[in-house]
Structure 1
């Protein structure tokens, strides 16, 4: 019984996060005849993007439309989906008790955490408001839409030169904006020059917008450079705070010796070091696109169901022996 004597709702699996990874995992689990509740706080990472890309048969689908279709499929098989912010999870005799910001807690035999990550953006005036529109990160998500435009790459991390060379695949006009970062070394400068990527020193002071479209950037020294798309490298921070009490903690990820974000370590199946807790999607894999996150959710769901089958069988054997 829960607080005030009220029976707690119990499920085979509670899925924390209702994005592509969480919904795909939930779908596989309800089709395996498991009782499932998806708790979603309504903050999808790709909310500002107009379209989802590289999802076979669904390329160009608006993210909200894709999620609505996923929710309909999960509920059609009997799964539950509720709006809710998970504030904590703890061990209990029957598995895990999940506490919410509003409403009574729920109990689950297993947890699938698919809370994604937060993109921490550079502090440049006007940049956050354009995120996912013409301030971009992933060339495979947005490169086609930015093709043949003037593209600026803001050097905010160790991968800026590599990003500029990558985006050169989609446009012949790419400029690396150093934004206070050190000048590239001789070898890197040669690589950029060979691909006709200009390197511009000086900090970017603000974005310039015309007709609700990015028109360019203004540097601190007053120079103005036209660009129709601006590429940034956010810091990718896993959303795992509510599960810290279980020992599911995010650890730093590094590239070229610098911290680029954090993620929750897991086995290929999504199993964490905490028995009974799985993760899927961007919370454990920073580079997953939507289709990759969906696949990871299914993979984790299969592992969870197999784990529950083993537990169900152990319980059945114990009951069988008692009867005998």
Structure 2
């Protein structure tokens, strides 16, 4: 299978969906003129014109407000946030409008908006351009949250998100943009709400998503040398979470750990740990472990940023203590 970058995979998904459905369009800052700050929209204006690839003013409130209005009028907008950190500017449009309209109108209308949100620690970008904020939106009823970890899932999840009639926040890690992987050509859909067991094991389940999957796989390789078999689950969708796949794995391995780049406190890991405590505690042979960033803004200093991150060695060291 051919290998392309994560960025190229999302570009291919956008192009295929815009060809398939004339209602799909994309809007955001520097989309047409620059091709997106990370190059993830390059070539779309030449192919589809600036009527469907729209540069907007520097106003996240206007971008999401216009996207919600367009969706209610029958379009299928994709709105780019430039950086996920800027999504706080338009929170009212997201959690008071976009998330609630379908419910408040008794299902008489749909709000098929996809918000693309580049997130994560990258290039010493400091506290205002490095955050992972997926847990904010997983807490809001009415919004789906996805976070692919590889190019194939990036394409498949974006295509599925664009076709979904519900609002979706699509988190795409900035470091992943340049990384390559095998991606099917043509129609390739990844179901929203379904996790993927990417490595089977029998001794401990580790759940993760987005870029942290890479560190989890490193930890699994390290632990394999110690005779510890790690089952790795890539969530792919954070909300709705695939509870069945997680619990089925925990009942097999009897141990559970969760790892993410976001801060450990009040994160996705806490929800999964609570889920296991409520529904699978009788199967657990050790306390649930969570791995995440410390409860502080992302530092700018290179040495501090490096110390802030979670690494495969950290995960492996923690898991050893479970046995």
Q: Shorter-chain-normalised TM-score: which range?
A: under 0.3
Q: Which has the higher strand share?
A: 1
If asked which structure has higher relative contact order (CA below 8 Å, sep 6+), I would say 1
Q: Which has the higher helix share?
A: 2
Q: Taking structure 2 as the reference length, what is the TM-score of the superposition?
A: 0.27
Task: Find the structure with the greater CA-based Rg.
Answer: 1
Q: Taking structure 1 as the reference length, what is the TM-score of the superposition?
A: 0.27
